[in-house]
Amino acid sequence: MDFRIPDKPSIKREEVMKITRLDGKVIDYWEKEFGGFKATTDKEGEKFYTRQDVETILQIKRLFIEERREKEEIRRIVGADSKHGETPLVPDQDPNRPEILQIVKTKLTEILTLLEKNDTK
């Protein structure tokens, strides 16, 4: 069974586990170990991921499990800062680059979705 990544700003952890066919503990470990993605947690403790996060998880899965790449190489490929578990925005990068703007847009959309969800409760 092949799952597609939904085209929505936030994806629940259970959906991510189905899409990636990974246990939640593996996803948590990879978040800390490789970085490149970071879950957002709502007031109830439920985790959400962006579409980009899911794509990064699938990329790590391919590199680590299928291609058997070394951890350091995977960290370098996903462009993550392994100490903080997030993709760093390097100060000398032009903030008007489309990929930077897309990251900002995705994160803002995610925040709005979580705020709207909390308002309806």
Please report the sign of the dihedral spanned by the C-alpha atoms of residue 32, residue 33, residue 35, residue 38: negative
- Model's pTM, two decimal places? 0.64
In a domain, 1, yes or no: no
Q: If pLDDT is split at 50, 70 and 90, which confidence band does 95 have?
A: low
Contact 36, 79 (CB under 8 A): yes
Higher-confidence position of 64 and 81:
64
In a domain, 6, yes or no: no
In a domain, 57, yes or no: yes
Question: What's residue 86's pLDDT?
Answer: 43
Tokens representing 98 are: 């489309």
In a domain, 103, yes or no: yes
Higher-confidence position of 14 and 100:
14
Domain limits for position 76: 11-119
In a domain, 54, yes or no: yes
How does pLDDT run across 72-90, given as a tens digit for each residue?
Answer: 999 989 884 434 444 444 4
Higher-confidence position of 101 and 16:
16
Q: If pLDDT is split at 50, 70 and 90, which confidence band does 92 have?
A: very low
Structurally, the chain folds into a number of domains equal to 1
Secondary structure in 3-state letters for the chain? CCCCCCCCCCEEHHHHHHHHCCCHHHHHHHHHHCCCCCCEECCCCCEEECHHHHHHHHHHHHHHHHCCCCHHHHHHHHCCECCCCECCCCCCCCCCCHHHHHHHHHHHHHHHHHHHHHHCC
In a domain, 27, yes or no: yes
Question: What's residue 9's pLDDT?
Answer: 84
